[in-house]
């Protein structure tokens, strides 16, 4: 908890994935501790329902400084999609989408599509994220969209050829901020760019601090052993800075 708090308190907005707390006590406890730890901001959160096609369920949780930005709306992708139910079964967990208003950054309004792919269906799900993007663009009439999360977009789950064939990879309007050669895994023996940040929209692209998108190596930063770091997560969070409108700086963290 202590390390998680330190990581989250660096950011104006954080997306936490793979929350598997059926009793629902962990996130309120986290928020309480976070607000006690960092009194310079007021942290709030928006959690998804428990998502999963079978008995295995996960939640997405956005944690954000409500003195810095507002979450204006949210939805789960198939709510938008009036296709036959079979078509919506592409995702093991529905992407959780939010619309942000951020007065302190150059880009004032943008959308975040948060998603955690099923490893064995990573290619198929990433391909379908293009359809989620199109639905969001239509619903909220915006080009400024950020997709982020553990997409399992590397190593054993996707091939180089497979990545190359993705619609979001072929379309030059999408910028993949976390590169294929970066490592988002904690274990020394692995080197995979599973977690990604993908952005779309001229305004959002020009509103990003160049080269700021990186995995945050909390193991090194907080001088943890590999074992201690793995107790926090087996992934490093990925983050990006948005250009401030004045003297502010906005961090986006997974």
Q: Which residues are catalytic?
A: 58, 116
For 241, list phi and psi in degrees, rounded to 5: -100, 140
Q: What span, in angstroms and rounded, lies between the C-alpha atoms of 251 and 146?
A: 13
- Angstrom distance (rounded) from CA 102 to CA 104: 6
Contact call for residues 45 and 64 (beta carbons, < 8 A) = yes
Q: Cβ of 252: how many Cβ atoms within 10 Å?
A: 26
Q: What is the dihedral of CA 135, 20, 235, 211, to 10 degrees?
A: 40
* Side-by-side strand order, sheet with 109-114: 70-76, 96-101, 109-114, 145-150, 195-200, 174-176
CA 187, chain centre distance (Å): 21
Contact in structure between 215 and 236 (CB atoms under 8 Å) = yes
């Amino acid at each position: 908890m202590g390390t998680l708090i330190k990581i989250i308190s660096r950011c104006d907005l954080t997306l936490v994935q793979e929350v598997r707390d059926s009793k629902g006590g962990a996130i309120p406890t986290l928020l309480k501790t976070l607000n006690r730890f960092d009194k310079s901001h007021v942290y709030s959160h928006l959690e998804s329902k428990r998502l999963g096609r079978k008995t295995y369920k996960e939640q997405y949780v956005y944690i954000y400084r409500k003195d810095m930005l507002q979450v204006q709306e949210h939805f789960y992708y198939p709510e938008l999609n009036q296709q036959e139910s079979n078509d919506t079964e592409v995702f093991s967990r529905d992407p959780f989408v939010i619309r942000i208003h951020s007065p302190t950054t150059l880009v004032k309004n943008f959308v975040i599509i948060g998603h955690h792919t099923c490893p064995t269906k990573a290619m198929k799900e990433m391909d379908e994220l293009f359809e989620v993007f199109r639905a969001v663009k239509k619903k909220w009439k915006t080009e400024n969209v950020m997709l982020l999360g553990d997409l399992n977009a590397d190593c054993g789950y996707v091939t180089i050829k497979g990545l190359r064939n993705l619609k979001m990879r072929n379309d030059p309007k999408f910028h993949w901020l976390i590169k294929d050669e970066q490592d988002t895994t904690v274990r020394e023996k692995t080197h995979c760019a599973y977690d990604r940040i993908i952005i779309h929209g001229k305004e959002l692209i020009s509103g990003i601090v160049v080269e700021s998108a990186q995995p945050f190596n909390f193991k090194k930063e907080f001088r943890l052993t590999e074992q201690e770091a793995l107790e926090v997560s087996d992934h490093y969070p990925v983050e990006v800075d948005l250009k401030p409108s004045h003297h502010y700086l906005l961090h986006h963290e997974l």
